[in-house]
A and B are shown apart, each in its own frame.
Chain A
Amino acid sequence: MNMALLRRSATYVLLSLAAFISVFPFIWMALGATNKSNDIVTGRLSLGSNLLVNFQNLLAQVDLVRVFGNSFLIAIISTLLTLAVSSLAGYGFEIFRSRVRERVFQLLLLFLSIPFAALMVPLFVLISRAQLNNTFIAVILPTIASIFIIFYFRQATKAFPGDLRDAARVDGLKEWQIFLFVYLPTMRSTYAAATIIVFMGAWNNYLWPLIVLQTPENKTITLVISALTAAYTPDYGVILLATVLATLPTLIIFFVLQRQFVQGMLGAVK
């Protein structure tokens, strides 16, 4: 009995410690945004009075509206196109089975584990030759057909009731109408979860935009934060304020749609 109590207490202590470590950098970030850079690198852990100055310094260095506009534009268009193209394919692979397409699908799964680093050089040459360098199209296009999301939708489509499709066919609906007017509304929660993963991925994407986007007016918020951090004498007050701003959208999505968020992350192993 005593042993059980001891183990229970140890569990709470361990979990509380882990939770504290998980949350601490968020507290650090929020407090840091209100402090001077010098205070931050010497570990000051209290609310400062430098928030407005940091904000003014950030505005002086970065066209915030433009940068956030770029990030949102890229993330939203990427998300819409990725969901459209990849859910169509996932649905197609699952509903219309044929031996050839099954082989194609298996081939795609092999490509799933190829790291982006292996693709970036030829992709860059391809994009340069197409004269799409420094455009949002170049950032968005290569990410639209996501094998991961195709796989996710194929798995989810297994739960789409065949009766619904049969009934729609009897009613004389064409296949694309069934997809648009029956499948799409039925699979709302699948789409919600996929939206979150794709949006997060696009919002946080760094390496590919770093390669493709060169001029300041095209930079996204992640590129700006990394440029600020790489400065010879980085101003951490400004940097932490920028990370707060960059993290807020995903943090809000997480707290509002926590269930779909976790569901989306889990999508692949169902």
Chain B
Amino acid sequence: MATTRLHRNEQINGWAFVMPALVLLGIFMIYPILWSLWMSFQVGRGNNFSFGGLANIQRLANDALLVHALSNTIIFFIIQVPIMIVLALLFAVALNDATLRFRGVFRTLLFLPCVTSLIAYSSLFKSMFSNDGIINQTLVSLHLIGAPIPWLTDPFWAKMVIITAITWRWTGYNMIFYLAALQNIDKSIYEAARIDGVPAWARFWNLTVPMLKPVILFTTILSTIGTLQLFDEVNNITQGGPGNGTMTLSLYIYNLTFRMMPSFGYSALVSWVIVAIVAVLSIVQFVIARDRRRAS
């Protein structure tokens, strides 16, 4: 009798505590996702839509701009994420050395870009990378380049600006995750390896990287989602240009919905493309991590 009352009490309280969040998530997350699945089959402009069967899927198959946005997103991902993660790992390992001086200062300064808003820092980068701007002037005066680089007017260089900007903003953020994980590693393992004469780079590859694998995986997933979300920087620095050279999936959906002829049905289908990509990538990343763990 007493236990069932206690049990019922637990049940009522359990639901009462989580209910406000669940109701809100139901309305603002689960309902929109399901609705956009239904909307994917609707055609029409603005708020007037009707059932269009597979018309949107046909449009998807012939959408050159979507392919452009997808390939740009993949290029950003393949180039930017590895560079950032390797840099963040190197900084974290360097800063984890207790004998290093000014560790706190270095850590603070490397983390500093994280306090800027995406819009604020992208405006800064736009002004620094202008044609006669500080970056070109510096590179020319160091004789690294002969003529100014058309950073914002050439599709290739515009991609490089975006990649540089994102790397600047997020390397310190990732570094903090690795630093925290490194501090949990038992120092005696390193002592033993050092006494056995294992060189530094081998300690890094064979001890540090395997032990940080879960965190590296976690940050890779975060960065993947971040790349798929990429919007603020490209919208502010290049507006997807020049010649769609920096068009991303998020910006494309935004343009489809709010800048071109609004077609909510088709935007919803493209949104589902993102959901599908996230699902596949998450599965792939987990499988890779599991296989590596088994192999080692």
Tell me the A residues contacting B by CB distance below 8 Å.
7, 11, 14-15, 18-19, 21-23, 25-26, 28-29, 32, 40-43, 45, 85-86, 88-89, 91-93, 95-98, 101, 104, 108, 111, 113-126, 128, 141-142, 144-145, 147, 150, 175, 179, 200, 203-204, 206-207, 211, 222, 225-226, 228-230, 236, 239-240, 243, 246-247, 250-251, 253-254, 258, 262, 265-266, 268-269
Query: Which one, B36, B218, B225, B232, contacts A206 given CB within 8 A?
Result: B232
8 Å CB interface, B252-292 against A: 253-254, 257-258, 264, 267-268, 271-272, 274-275, 278, 282
Q: Which of B52-60, B105-113, B155-163 contacts A (4 or more CB under 8 A)?
A: B105-113
A120 engages B253 (CB within 8 Å): yes
Instruction: Kindly list chain B residues whose C-beta atoms are within 8 Å of the C-beta of A144.
Output: 24
Chain B 112-147, CB-CB to A under 8 Å as 1, else 0, gives: 111111111111111110111111111000000000
Instruction: Kindly list chain A residues whose C-beta atoms are within 8 Å of the C-beta of B110.
Output: 15, 18-19, 22
Does B11 reach chain A (CB closer than 8 Å)? yes
Instruction: Kindly list chain B residues whose C-beta atoms are within 8 Å of the C-beta of A15.
Output: 91, 94-95, 106, 110
Complex CA gap A32/B125 in Å reads 12
8 Å CB interface, B66-97 against A: 87, 90-91, 94-95, 97
State whether A123 and B28 are in contact (beta carbons under 8 Å apart), knowing that A41-B133, A269-B177 are contacts in the complex. yes
Does B182 reach chain A (CB closer than 8 Å)? no
Instruction: Kindly list chain B residues whose C-beta atoms are within 8 Å of the C-beta of A150.
Output: 21
Task: Show 26 A/B contacts (Cβ-Cβ < 8 Å), sorted by A.
Answer: A15-B94, A15-B106, A19-B110, A25-B128, A26-B112, A28-B127, A43-B133, A43-B136, A89-B21, A92-B17, A92-B18, A113-B221, A115-B228, A118-B278, A119-B28, A120-B257, A128-B47, A141-B28, A142-B28, A150-B21, A175-B13, A207-B254, A222-B120, A243-B121, A262-B111, A262-B176
Name the residue on B nearest A236 (C-beta).
Answer: B127
8 Å CB interface, B8-29 against A: 9-11, 13-18, 20-22, 24-25, 27-29
- With most chain B CB atoms within 10 A of its CB, the pick from A42, A92, A147 is A92
* Interface band, chain B: 35 or more
Does B181 reach chain A (CB closer than 8 Å)? yes
Complex CA gap A98/B112 in Å reads 42
A213 to chain B, nearest CB (A): 13
Instruction: Kindly list chain A residues whose C-beta atoms are within 8 Å of the C-beta of B168.
Output: 21-22, 25
B272 engages A118 (CB within 8 Å): yes
Query: Which one, B17, B116, B119, contacts A91 given CB within 8 A?
Result: B17
Does B208 reach chain A (CB closer than 8 Å)? no
A121 engages B267 (CB within 8 Å): yes
Instruction: Kindly list chain A residues whose C-beta atoms are within 8 Å of the C-beta of B125.
Output: 25
A96 engages B17 (CB within 8 Å): yes
A256 to chain B, nearest CB (A): 12
- With most chain A CB atoms within 10 A of its CB, the pick from B25, B131, B257 is B25
B274 engages A28 (CB within 8 Å): no
Query: Which one, B36, B118, B250, contacts A115 given CB within 8 A?
Result: B250
State whether A42 and B132 are in contact (beta carbons under 8 Å apart), knowing that A111-B30, A225-B119 are contacts in the complex. yes
